[in-house]
Amino acid sequence: MTGGNNALSADILVIGFGKGGKAVAAAMGRQGKRVVLVEQSDRMYGGTCPNVGCVPTKALVHRSGKRRPDDEIQAWYERAVGDVQALTSLFRSGNFEALNGADTVTVVTGHAVFTDDHTVKVGTGDDHLTVTAETILINTGSEPVIPAVPGLQESRYLLTSAELIETTGLPRRLAIIGGGYLGIEFASIYQRFGSQVTLFESGPDILTHEDDDVAAAARDILSEEGIEIVTSVRVEEVRDGEGGATVTYAKDGRRASIEADAILAATGRAPATRGLGLDAAGVRTTENGAIAVDEHLRTSRPHIFALGDVNGGPQFTYISLDDSRIVLDQLTGKGERSVTDRVAIPRTLFMTPPLATVGLTEREARAAGHRLRIAEQPVAEIVSMPRAYVVEETRGLMKFVIDAETDQILGAALLSVDAQELINTVTLAMRHGVTAAELRDAVYTHPSSTEAFNDVLATIVRADEP
């Protein structure tokens, strides 16, 4: 690096230690470029996923089902949280050392604010550092949205997901506001740990973007677990008491209330752009606060890129990783890769068992004018999937939406053990034109979950007339 005591000059400046930014920083560092990566918190080295997102939450999903009969609930939960925090600490230090240990990469901890389109100031007062770079990447992620419910913001029982997973005391009564992926995952985790969970969803049902049969199967599983799901509801007020909070809500024209020891706000996340000084850099944002980018992730300043959640795209770690490939292609490749290359992007809801989906639902495919064949089976009836019985998880279903004329798979919903892995095979088939018949007749190891495709894709429950 070059510069004085309070200044650094670099080829690449990365703001935020997320998946996409750190991938570009590492790759450019290996090529001998001078890289500075600025992260505002020493607890976020590596980004959201290994610290407060995917890794700790999925580790809690795993541990929530492992209590032995003689384990006292509170001690078991506290031990699980401790184990998970040790895991995230290991990931965090590994991420820091992997970058900061490189000769050409420097990690700076502090809040970065643009002073012009090539320069940021990190820190305040006499203890600040100025970093100037030819190319800048913004990878600051997203932050929780707290709904405008009277008394909620001020409640001492309000927690974000990041705060809840670090709380060593298991809430006896947990209220979750928001029935999306985050809300459902945490409802499943904490109900299995032993909390009494009430999930509030303002819409008419949870998972309304899925087909009705898939959503109903998921809801049945959650209800069987003991989660109370309240839909078509408006949370009107939160009032703190000495031993907890009273959550008042309106449903069907009537008001009711519950008591809660903790309240999780799970109503979405917004791009984290506040306090970056984007105006000083001439970087434009969209109406929802995301940084506006083109198909190559360039902002309104061509030498500044935005990667991951902050650019308003799908909020998945693997999308941020793919963002890094697009940016690296711009910096060192042919400059041809873009977000338009992405097809068949899967996603997984980590309830138990997980729900993994890709492509079109049956409803969407019909609306698009396709003539369809629908292959569907409950997991408990899939003869060729003994693994479900081996691991004692036979709940759920598998559904494929198939174009009747081409035999191409248009979409799939897998609510089953190992669904988060199975969906990647389906996704690869969709991307490369593998037909439903080819996937059905493939040879899979035994006993495995993948061999379920042999049965399910042969079970056509609905077929449109030619």
The Cα diameter of the chain in Å comes to 75
Peptide bond into 447 cis (omega under 30): yes
Taking Cα atoms as reference points, which of 317, 342, 337, 313 lies closest to residue 325? 337
Range of the domain at 421: 347-463
User: How far is it, in rounded angstroms, from Cα 116 to Cα 13?
Assistant: 13
Among 62, 111, 209, 446, which one carries the catalytic annotation? 446
Q: Is 38 exposed, middle or buried (0-12, 13-18, 19+ CB in 10 A)?
A: buried
Are 26 and 116 in the same domain? Answer: yes
Which helix (H) or strand (E) element contains residue 377?
Answer: strand 372-378
Q: Could you tell me if 293 and 364 lie in one domain? A: no
Same domain, 448 and 351: yes
Are residues 14 and 136 located together in one domain of the fold?
yes
Cα separation, 130 vs 283, in Å, equals 19
Shared-domain flag, residues 129 and 45 = yes
Residue 116 token pair: 């012009």
In a domain, 169, yes or no: yes
C-alpha–C-alpha distance, residues 151 and 29, integer Å: 48
Q: In this structure, what CATH number is given to the domain that contains residue 251?
A: 3.50.50.60
- Please tell me the predicted confidence (pLDDT) of residue 2: 46
Per cent of the chain over pLDDT 90 is 83
Q: Read off the pLDDT of residues 337-354 as tens digits, 9 standing for 90 and up.
A: 999 999 999 999 999 999
Question: How long, in residues, is the chain?
Answer: 466
pLDDT value at residue 422: 98
Q: How far apart are CA 163 and CA 188, in angstroms?
A: 17
If asked whether residues 319 and 352 sit together in one domain, one would say no
Among candidate residues 210, 234, 267, the one where a domain is terminated: 267
174 contacts 190 by C-beta, under 8 angstroms = yes
Rounded CA-CA distance 187/225 in Å is 10
Paired tokens of 1: 């690096």
Find, among 158, 194, 193, 162, the residue nearest to 176 by Cα: 158
Count: domains in the chain? 3
Which of 355, 257, 273, 349 lies closest to 309 in space, CA to CA? 273
H helix intervals, 101-254: 161-164, 181-193, 212-224
pLDDT in tens, 91-149: 888 888 888 878 899 999 999 999 999 999 998 767 889 999 999 999 999 999 999 99
Distance in angstroms (rounded) separating the CA atoms of residues 275 and 262: 29
| Domain end position, chosen among 231, 252, 267 | 267
CB 31 within 8 A of CB 153: no
Q: Which residues pair with 14 in a beta bridge?
A: 37, 137
Is 24 within the bounds of a domain?
yes
- CA distances for 236 relative to 136, 154, 178, angstroms: 43, 14, 14
pLDDT at 3: 47
Does residue 171 form part of some domain?
Answer: yes
* 458 plus 356 within the same structural domain: yes
How crowded is the C-beta side of 131, counted as CA atoms within 13 Å?
30
β-pairing verdict for 105-109 and 35-39:
parallel
Residue 2 lies in a domain: no
The answer to whether residue 1 sits within a structural domain is no
Distance CA 307, CA 139 (A): 5
Among candidate residues 323, 341, 359, the one where a domain is terminated: 341
- The whole-model pTM stands at 0.92
Which among 8, 7, 36 has a CA at the least distance from the CA of 22?
A: 36
- Write out the two tokens for 85: 């925090």
Q: Are residues 322 and 392 in the same domain?
A: no
Asked if 70 and 209 sit in the same domain, the reply is no
25 and 133, same domain (yes or no): yes
Distance CA 88, CA 186 (A): 18
Mean pLDDT for each consecutive 10-residue tract of the chain (466 residues)? Answer: 70 94 94 94 81 84 85 90 90 84 90 96 84 97 93 96 92 96 95 96 95 97 96 96 95 95 94 95 94 98 97 92 96 95 94 97 97 97 93 96 98 98 98 97 95 97 90
Does 227 lie in the same domain as 322? Answer: no
Domain identity same for 309 and 375: no
Inside any domain, residue 151: no
pLDDT of 5 reads 61
Residue 153 is assigned to a structural domain of this protein: no
Which tokens go with 410?
A: 């248009």
209 belongs to the catalytic site: no
- The answer to whether position 402 is within a domain reads yes
